[in-house]
Amino acid sequence: MKIQNKKFIYLISPNKIKNKSFFFNLNLVLKSKKVSFFQLRLKNENIRNKITIAKKIYKICKKNNVKFIINDDPNLALKVNADGCHLGQKDMNITKARKILQNKVVGITCHNSIKLSRIAESNGATYIALGAFFNSSTKKVKYKADLKTLKKIKKSIKLPIVAIGGINEKNYRNLLLNKADFLAISSYIWNNKKLKPHQAIEKIK
């Protein structure tokens, strides 16, 4: 199978960034030229540390021509000059986020719902995220999506779709064959027991 979009990976950070080796590994992973977006998702970190970490990541993303996205926090995205933010359904609403970020990227999680996907599109989202397609070790799976859902929503809206949830080197191809535009990947890269991050991403072709 020939993949049209060579940069189909939407990479999400690990839940904690503890040491400098992360930045070295991130640079190696982004050098693969397979990543379109990198999302910083640190739920339990104080704002000062988030800003410090974000500034370092911003430089690495810029160098590798990858869009840098901040999870949950449009104000932080603006402060560190990120390319945009990603919102969950319980985060700030998209209209408010748009006022803060103007023309920057605003993505929104729509779980497995055509209704939420249409609302996101009409409210000016840049992309939507659907899932979880598989069980995930990053977060507890509350909403399940499948290929039928993906096809239905693909027909209903014109926005790019990011598939999320437990995606790895064994299960990713079917999602691309069924027209997911991007695949959100996290644990497979950062918590892989057999492969280093840059080796893990090489398996996804």
pLDDT tens sequence across 101-152: 999 999 999 999 999 999 999 999 999 999 999 987 666 778 899 999 999 9
In sequence order, what DSSP letters do the residues of 67-82 get, joined into one string?
A: EEEEES-HHHHHHTT-
Residue (of 151, 181, 156, 148) closest to 164 by Cα position: 181
4 part of a folded domain: no
pLDDT tens sequence across 7-29: 999 999 999 998 899 999 999 99
d(Cα 119, Cα 153) in Å, to the nearest integer? 12
Q: Is 95 exposed, middle or buried (0-12, 13-18, 19+ CB in 10 A)?
A: exposed
Expressed as residue numbers, the domain containing 15 is 9-202
CA 189 to each of CA 42, 109, 129, 171: distance values in angstroms, whole numbers, following the listed order: 16, 21, 19, 14
pLDDT for the residue numbered 139: 67
Report the sign of the C-alpha dihedral through residues 27, 9, 51, 104, in that order.
positive
pLDDT tens sequence across 80-101: 999 999 999 999 999 999 999 9
Q: Is the CB of residue 112 less than 8 Å from the CB of residue 143?
A: yes
63 part of a folded domain: yes
pTM of the model: 0.95
Report the sign of the C-alpha dihedral through residues 3, 10, 190, 151, in that order.
negative
pLDDT for the residue numbered 136: 74
pLDDT for the residue numbered 3: 46
47 CA to centre of own chain: 20
110 part of a folded domain: yes
How many structural domains does the chain have? 1
74 part of a folded domain: yes
3 part of a folded domain: no
Within 9-154, strands assigned E span: 9-12, 35-40, 67-71, 84-87, 105-109, 127-131
140 part of a folded domain: yes
CATH (domain of 119): 3.20.20.70
